[in-house]
Structure 1
Amino acid sequence: MLVEGPVEVVLDDGSTVVSDRFTVALCVCRRSRSFPWCDTSHRSREKRHSA
């Protein structure tokens, strides 16, 4: 999800992370190693094909 910045995100544990970039990609799939920021980890998931 793209959000116009600056952005302040409050995580589940109550901690806050901040980005001062003008556009920020937030991770909504929770696969990112840099959560809550998107690192495109969702792209590496293998697609399942029907037999």
Structure 2
Amino acid sequence: MPSASERPRRVTIDPGGPLLVEGPVEVVRDDGTVVTSRRFVVAVCTCRRSRTYPWCDTSHRDRGPRGEDPS
């Protein structure tokens, strides 16, 4: 079995939700800053509604898919 540094990182796509990435991870933001999470699995926001962007805070659950009004 390969060591942790030799095996590829697993990324799981959650339809309508975040990308789940085996951590630790570094994310390079639009402005070039780097943010790091050392968690075992990291939820990366894909809807940009998160108050803790680039990390998911489950804000996507408050509304339907982007552009859709739930009422």
Q: TM-score, normalised by structure 1?
A: 0.88
Q: Report which structure shows greater RCO (CA 8 Å, sep ≥6).
A: 1
Q: How does 1:10-21 map to 2 (within 5 A)?
A: 10-21=28-39
SS in 1 for 2:61: helix
Distance 1:24 1:47 in 2: 27
Distance between the aligned counterparts of 1:26 and 1:13, measured in 2?
A: 17
Q: Whole-Å Cα distance in 2 between the matches of residues 21 and 40 of structure 1?
A: 17
- Runs of 5+ consecutive residues of structure 2 not aligned to the other structure: 1-18, 64-68
Cross-structure match for 2:60? 42
- Aligned CA RMSD, in angstroms, stands at 1.1
Distance 1:7 1:47 in 2: 33
Query: Gaps (5+ residues) in structure 1?
Result: none
What number of residue pairs does the alignment pair up?
48
Q: Percent identity?
A: 69
Aligned to 2:20: 2
Other structure's SS at 1:24 match: strand
